[in-house]
Structure 1
Amino acid sequence: MSMNALGVSTGLMVGWCVLAQIARKVAQRMIKEDGLIPTLVNEAIAAAELCACCFELIIIADNFGVAAYAVFLFILTVWWGQVWGDASACPYTHMEDLLEGKTTLREVALKSWAALMGGCCVYRFVQVIWWFEFAETHQGRAFEDCSADLQVHPYIGAAIEGIATMLCRLASKSLSEIGPRFGNVIDSFIGTSLVVAVYIFNYSMFLAFNFSGGYFNPVLATALKWGCRGHTNIEHIIVYWIGACVGAVLSVPVFKMEVVRRYLIGDQKGKRE
């Protein structure tokens, strides 16, 4: 594929990020009140930005390989960590907050709904851009039938998504508590690596990319792969919603285990003293 096609995909992702940032600024000016409404708007914008960019990342992965995909994903993740604020574009982070008593079930449901709407609705805009076929890699992509990434039994796929999500959340919690100078960059690197490259606890995360898609985010998986040929809707829910959410929720009690904390963050109390 030509470098022109890669340049078009890069420009589109930059454009989506710029538009999302403008939307955030406009929302801040228009919504003066504090409370749940601006939070829901930010969740929807973040999810739309995430999914729009990831649609283009699929183009890059299909045509330029996993290495190029990983580089772009890492850069985007660092950017999102800087501009999203309290938004996560991911339901299970709110479920974790519920488990820790930081939020209510109503807020979890509303935030998850806002993220899902933002992620799913943005596809229509992406579809229009692809319809213009600015690059050869977009030819025929706007209205083609999509195929599911799930290549294994749904329960195995759910286990893959769940274990990888739990590892990712444990890493994020550890970095948050330790507070390293470049914590966001490190967290982004770990998240990207879990999708595409590294071995953790003797388990290859390439399995996630090849056999389940390695989404680790129910909203992203639904926006990109809901209704695709290769799995039923129930199987999709089992793998990408139940699997990922259970893994994330389990990370809360697992992180509180003394042996896990000692392994991940060491003796922080002794260091402070």
Structure 2
Amino acid sequence: MAGLNVSLTFFFLVVGVCQALRRLSKRLLSPGAYGCLARELAGSLQLCMSCLELRMLTEIGPWGGGFGPDVVLTLLFLLFMVHGATLDGASANPTVSIQEFLLLGSNLAATAAKLLAQGAGMGTGWALTKLYWAWELTPFHLIQNLIASECSSSIHTSLHHAAFVEGTCSFIFHLVLLKLCRSYPMYRVPALAATVTFLTYTAGPFTGAFFNPALATASTFHCSGSTFWDYIQVYWLGPLAGMLAALLLYQGNIPRLFQKNLLYSQKSKYKIPKARVAARVEGDEMQWKRKEEKSNSEPRA
């Protein structure tokens, strides 16, 4: 349990440092620069370092520390609860940023800046976590350093099935995100955390259940066992296809590309009861008859 306590301390430190970085950058930078760069960089840094440490516990903890998947899944749920409460609106996920662009929520320059900040945050998080593991504060980290150079791919199924799994996870995640985007944080954050935990539990044995291209790139692209193009298909094209499918199902169209609704008919938001329509028609007919009778009764010159 000593190793688990060290990891918990690491999680608290990462969240605290990233929170301080957000507050400092909010004071020094303009709102635009903060929203597109600093906020996404801090959020990606926090997400990457936390998930890498948690992945290490997932792989080594069951036989090195004696705790099972229930501990890891509980930590995952709590971590995403904390992420949802502290990220300050950052997505730390390229597919979410691209979805905002397709929904006309941000322009091309802002989206590109977010993607660059997410990549920089994930890369920095990976480098700092490796440095932290090199200190070997626990037996977990010692074992992680020994096997780090020989890590294997997270794809444990066929390539097409792996891409389908990541795409399905992304589809479900984005569908829940779209449904809850206007909900109160007290409802949205636990729902998203529960969704991520369920998807990780279900799809983790097949692909690791990243459904976040930047996080997958930092976590598994350097491991042997799969080619770079295999990783691109599974961890980039799969989640992007799932996001597009969720957006099309929820909206009926993709606003950035076309305005016509492809799935749902455009009906009036307010429906008029049939009885009221019939009464209105009868009233129009009576008014027209009265006008006609009045015009007939008038003397002709």
Say yes or no: TM over 0.5.
yes
The one of 241, 247, 254 aligned to 2:249: 254
Aligned pairs, number: 250
d(CA) in 2 for partners of 1:29, 1:240: 36
Hey, what does 1:199 align to over in structure 2?
Answer: none
Asked whether the equivalents of residues 128 and 142 of structure 1 are also in contact (C-alpha less than 8 Å), the reply is no
- State the secondary structure of the residue aligned to 2:154: coil
Deviations 1:106-132 (A, max 9, x none): 322221121011111222211121111
Q: Distance in 1 between matches of 2:194 and 2:143?
A: 33
Q: Which structure would you say has the larger RCO, counting Cα contacts within 8 Å and 6 or more residues apart?
A: 1
Instruction: Give me the whole-angstrom Cα distance separating, in 1, the residues matched to 2:111 and 2:213.
Output: 14
What residue in structure 2 maps to residue 65 of structure 1? 68
Question: What is the rounded CA distance, in whole Å, between the counterparts of 2:27 and 2:100 in structure 1?
Answer: 28
The farther-off stretch of 69-78 and 177-186 is 177-186
Question: Is the CA contact (8 Å cut-off) linking 2:35 and 2:90 kept in structure 1?
Answer: no
SS in 2 for 1:163: helix
Look up the match of 1:236. Answer: 231
Which position in structure 1 is the counterpart of 2:180?
A: 175
1:120-167 deviations in whole A, cap 9, x for unaligned?
122221112111111111114236222111012222211110011111
Matched, 1:186 2:191: yes
Per the alignment, residue 84 of structure 2 pairs with: 81
Task: Report percent identity of matched pairs.
Answer: 25
Mapped to 2, the partners of 1:60 and 1:28 lie a distance apart of 33
Structure 2 equivalent of residue 160 of structure 1: 165
Question: Structure 1 residues 148, 155: CA separation in 2 closer, same or farther (over 3 Å shift)?
Answer: same
Deviates more, 1:100-109 or 1:183-192: 100-109
Q: Which residue of 2 aligns with 1:26?
A: 24
**CA contact 2:36–2:117 (8 Å) conserved in 1:** no
5+ residue gaps, structure 2, are: 62-66, 253-260, 272-301
Are the aligned partners of 1:27 and 1:38 in contact in 2 as well (CA < 8 Å)?
no
Between 1:100-109 and 1:164-173, the stretch displaced more is 100-109
Q: Let me know the Cα RMSD of the aligned residues.
A: 2.3
Where does residue 210 of structure 2 map in the other structure? 215
* Counterpart amino acid of residue 124 in structure 2: C
**Offset of residue 37 of structure 1:** 5.0
Q: Which runs of 5+ in 1 are unaligned?
A: 197-205, 262-267
* Equivalent of 1:56 in 47, 53, 58: 53
Q: Give the whole-Å Cα distance in 2 for the aligned partners of 1:105 and 1:29.
A: 25
* Alpha-carbon distance in 2 for matches of 1:163, 1:58: 21
In the TM superposition, what whole-angstrom CA distance separates every residue of 1:77-132 from its partner, at most 9, and x where no partner exists? Answer: 11111111221100111111122222223322221121011111222211121111
SS in 2 for 1:189: helix
Whole-angstrom CA distance in 2 between matches of 1:142 and 1:117: 23
Q: Which runs of 4+ in 1 moved over 6 A?
A: none
Task: Work out which of the two has the higher radius of gyration on C-alpha atoms and give 1 or 2.
Answer: 2
Paired residue for 2:2, among 1, 4, 22?
A: 4
CA contact (8 A) 1:92 1:249 kept: no
